[in-house]
Amino acid sequence: MYCSPDIIRVIKSMKMRLSGHVARMGARRDAYRVWVGKRKGKRPLGRPRRRCEDNIKMDLQEVGWGMDWIDLAQDRDGLRALVNGVTNFSVP
């Protein structure tokens, strides 16, 4: 009945596309340091907070992609195919 793609898949594909841009920026840029960096200081009790990098790794594992996301971002065609695949990915 509803022909639009699943909003969760669209958001994940947009996140992966953005992570590809950030990974290609390099370690000296602020966006890269925020995306990959670890928080300093004392952490609160309980489960550690997830970083952006951890979310991207979980999304890649869900799709079945075992490659490091920074290496994947260097291959623009591979990243584009993955982003398009995530959008069309069907969850059983």
What average pLDDT does this structure show over 74-85? 81
| pLDDT tens figures, 4-61 | 667 777 888 888 888 888 888 888 888 888 877 777 777 778 877 777 788 888 888 8
Amino acid identity for residue 78 in this structure: G
Q: What HEC string does 8-32 produce?
A: HHHHHHHHHHHHHHHHHHCCCCHHH
Q: pTM here?
A: 0.68
Mean pLDDT of the 66-91 span: 75
Give the HSE-up count for residue 86: Cα atoms under 13 Å, Cβ half-sphere: 25
Taking a C-beta distance cutoff of 8 angstroms, is the pair 89, 60 a contact?
A: no
Residue 56's pLDDT is what? Answer: 82
Backbone φ and ψ of 87, nearest 5°: -65, -35
With 50 as the cut, is the pLDDT of residue 92 above it? no
How far apart are alpha carbons 87 and 90 in whole angstroms?
9
- Give the pLDDT score at 27: 82
Mean pLDDT of the 64-76 span: 78
